[in-house]
Structure formats: structure tokens, C-alpha cells
Amino acid sequence: MKIAFYGTKPYDRIWFEPMGKEYGFDIHFIEAACNRETIFMAKGYDAICIFVNDYVDAEMINALYEMSVKAILLRSAGYNNVDVKAAEDKIIIMRVPSYSPEAVAEFSMALLLTVNRLTHKAYNRTRDFNMSLNGLMGMDLYEKTAGVIGTGKIGQAMIRILNGFQMHVLCYDPFPVEGLEAEYVSLEEIFKYSDVITLHCPLTSDTKHIINKETIAKMKNGVFLINTSRGALIDTEALIEAMLQNKFGGVGLDVYEEEEGVFYEDRSGDIVKDDNLARLLTFPNVLVTSHMGFFTREAMQAIALTTLENAYALENGLPLVNQVGREADLQ
């Protein structure tokens, strides 16, 4: 199988290059992102492999189909960046439903601890030999209430971590999981009672802007908000408006709804043209990271393994257990 691997970074090659050879695949690594301008580069390949900030719309699906590309291999769990309906009966889409939920959950907790205890600011101060504690006061997480939205594998891992801090954990998911050490409640109750809200749900038509002006108004003053899932779960303009009103104690964002073309790239020499992102970066109690919650050795190895196993199953007529279907809107 010949695979066009879009959006290649040096760390992708560490795992995919040797594993690809073991499977006997011909992988062509392309640095450019997958978009309308670069889709022509898939000609002559059996499959393309894309990541979260690539996209494949209906027009591109048709182009791939005309080029006889058989599959889109997602090296991610989410697939909101692919027009699944347009691909039906044309191109097979496969994803990595789970790699290391602990990696994302642990990073979510790291964001919470950082924006609460301001360790990033303390680090910068002490490097300048400023040992003042002014402005660095946080709160105990012990016996506070945490609201977890989404109880898939990552949400479940986050619940285990929050329980370790002896927090009272509330959770919401339209598809409850039995046996969790958390109390399922309504979204209204999550927003009303939580001292910390952490997002672990996929981006769908139902969850887009689940954090908006109305839901923010229902939250406690001083609430902490963490998002390591998808940027568009939060209405950025509503978040900024609330930040100006001192609504949040702290916000940790590993994702951003307009991150395409910015995250995963070195833009340090560029002027920030996104006014909302520039504004977010000015708030002293907002921490933005570049969609790195998944980025551990274990997760990267698992992503590569599952992605290539998906390709192997397709090539050899085996069951496509990770195929995305139009009926699977919520996973």
C-alpha cells in the first residue's frame, strides 16, 4: 500500500517510518497540511493519512475518489475535520479511537494545577531572582467540586485523577457509563455547582459552543475551565467577554477553534493576526498550549501502531474495526 502522509513533523517519522517498513508500506511523508491546495499530491496513492488540523471536505472527497484513493487514515480519535457523509460509498475512513487516554487526562490536570497555582509565573519570576509571592495565590482542590463533561475513556481517566485529589466529581454524558466514581447530573447542574469544569467530549453539532454566553452565565464566579478536546467546544468571543468581567479563576486551553495553520507551527517571527487568540494570550490567568495533550511517547507509539494496523486490515481484507460510519456521530 502506498500512503501519502500529510502534515509530517520530525516526531511523526520516529514511529511511522520504522513501523511502515515492518508492514511493507510505501509511505511518502509530506510536510504540507492536507487542504484543497495540496490534495492533488495524493494522486497515485492508495490512502492518505491526516491529523487533527488537516481537513477533507466534500470537494476533496470527490477529488480523492477520482484519483482512486481508497482510504483516509486518521491518526486521531476525532473526525470532525472530514466530511463523513460525502465519503459514504466512495472512500473508507478509519480512525484511532483510543491511544493513551491517560496522556490527555494527565495533561488536563497539569493545566488545572498550573492555572490554579500559577507555577508557570513562579518559574519565570524565580529565574529573574524575584521570590515574591504576590499574585501567586491559588486554592485547594481538596473537597472542591469538579464537573467532567464527557465520560469516554479520557473523561474516565480524568475522573480517576480528580478522585485522587479527593474532589467531589460530577459528570455529564448522554451515554452514561456504569461503575464510575462520579455522580451523573444534568449540564445545568455541572455549570451551577462546579468549581472546575473540564471538557472531554467530541465536537459534534450538539457540542459545538457548549460553552457559550448563556452557559457561562450559569457558572460560579471564579470557576476554572479546562479544554483539551476540541477548540470549537468553546465560543471564544463569549469566553473573552467573560474574562473581561473576571468570571473565571483560570482557564487552560490546549485547543482553540481557529488553531488550523497556527498550532504545530513555529510562528514566533510572525505578527499574530488572530485578534481573539492575541487577546486570550494577554490574560494573566489564561494558559494556552499548542494541542499537545496527547504528546507522550506511549501515545505516539499507539497512534502509529493503530493507524498502520488500520491500513493493514484494509489491504488484506480484514474486518475494519475502526471504520468511521455515518451512524457514529457520538463516540
The three three-digit cell numbers of residue 20, written as one number: 511502515
Residue 258 lies in a domain: yes
Half-sphere exposure of residue 240: CA atoms within 13 angstroms, side-chain side? 12
258 with 190, same domain: the answer is yes
253 with 127, same domain: the answer is yes
42 with 155, same domain: the answer is no
- Name the catalytic one among 75, 95, 200, 291: 291
Residue 322 lies in a domain: no
310 with 235, same domain: the answer is no
Residue 325 lies in a domain: no
83 with 108, same domain: the answer is no
- Name the catalytic one among 75, 200, 230, 257: 230
Q: What is the pLDDT of residue 98?
A: 85
179 with 37, same domain: the answer is no
What span, in angstroms and rounded, lies between the C-alpha atoms of 176 and 168? 18
Q: Which residues of 200-210 are buried (b: 16+ CB within 10 A; e: fewer)?
A: bbbbeeebebb
Q: What is the pLDDT of residue 331?
A: 35
110 with 30, same domain: the answer is no
Q: What is the pLDDT of residue 326?
A: 43
Residue 267 lies in a domain: yes
Domain that holds residue 110: 101-288
Q: What is the pLDDT of residue 99?
A: 86
Total of domains in the chain: 2
Does residue 291 have an active-site annotation?
yes
310 with 277, same domain: the answer is no
Q: What is the pLDDT of residue 276?
A: 96
* Sheet with 2-5, side-by-side order of all strands: 26-29, 2-5, 47-50, 71-74, 92-94
Q: What is the pLDDT of residue 1?
A: 95
Does residue 267 have an active-site annotation?
no
Does residue 143 have an active-site annotation?
no
123 with 258, same domain: the answer is yes
Residue 94 lies in a domain: yes
pLDDT, tens digit (0-9, with 9 covering 90-100), for 93-116: 999 998 889 999 999 999 999 999
Residues of the chain falling short of pLDDT 50: 326-331
Residue 54 lies in a domain: yes
92 with 198, same domain: the answer is no
Residue 320 lies in a domain: no
pTM (predicted TM-score): 0.90
pLDDT, tens digit (0-9, with 9 covering 90-100), for 76-85: 988 999 999 9
The three three-digit cell numbers of residue 14, written as one number: 520516529
243 with 130, same domain: the answer is yes
CATH of the domain at 21: 3.40.50.720
109 with 95, same domain: the answer is no
Residue 328 lies in a domain: no
